[in-house]
Amino acid sequence: MTIHREGYKTIAWSVILFGIINILSFYIFSLNHPAVCIIILIITLALLVFMVSFFRVPKRKLTVREDAVIAPADGKVVVIEETQEEEYFKDKRIQVSIFMSPLNVHLNRNPVSGEIRYSQYHEGKYLVAWHPKSSTENERHSVVYDKNGKKILVKQIAGAMARRIVNYLQTGQKVKQTEEMGFIKFGSRVDLLLPTDAKVQVKIGDKVQGGISVIATW
């Protein structure tokens, strides 16, 4: 396991802040209320462990398949439905949504190889990630992949806790399946908008792993 580069600064500032908090608690409470120092130490250590865990990048044997759309994120499948896509395609698509809890790995990966046709950041609200309108109203970053004429749209969507979406892709860039697409901090959702003839291989409630689980075939 390694730590993602997006976490270096956050973890470093957390260590400094928690260190200051514990030093102050020692000088203020150590003589008369030593138990308070211990409680503060335990809480700050637990928070630091959470920070390190959140930015973890576990070692995995990634799935590379020309005929498959691979999960771009870890999480739980919460939506599988046909919908009218209005941002780019302006037609019917199969939407598969993956909810990412704060405990999931938050590195996002390319679901397919191909060329980036569209990469656009949108400001927006911070509705809870499972809200039906979060896909169109929340802060998000949308990317369209073109694989030999077959196109899919992937949306990184901020949630009530997530306040920063990182995306590394640019229009015209050629990418490989399972390589890094971006990162979302602190709870979020990823939507895939697939062609209507795609064969979805997951069901609602399934837990998927980014870079490993097959979402659909075509």
For residue 72, the one-letter residue type is P
Say if residues 200 and 215 touch (Cβ distance below 8 Å). yes
Q: In which region does residue 127 sit, left (phi positive, over 0), alpha (psi from -120 to 50) or beta (all else)?
A: beta
Report the half-sphere exposure of 202 (CA within 13 A, side-chain side): 28
Say if residues 44 and 18 touch (Cβ distance below 8 Å). yes
Cα gap 114→36, rounded to integer Å? 56
Which of 131, 134, 132, 193 lies closest to 158, judged by CA? 134
For residue 175, the one-letter residue type is V
Tokens standing for 36? 């308070």
> Strand runs (DSSP E) across 2-112, as ranges?
2-3, 56-57, 68-70, 75-85, 91-100, 107-109
Say which of 25, 135, 142, 188 is annotated catalytic: 188
Judge whether 97 counts as a catalytic residue.
Answer: no
Say if residues 179 and 109 touch (Cβ distance below 8 Å). yes
Instruction: Please list the active-site residues.
Output: 188
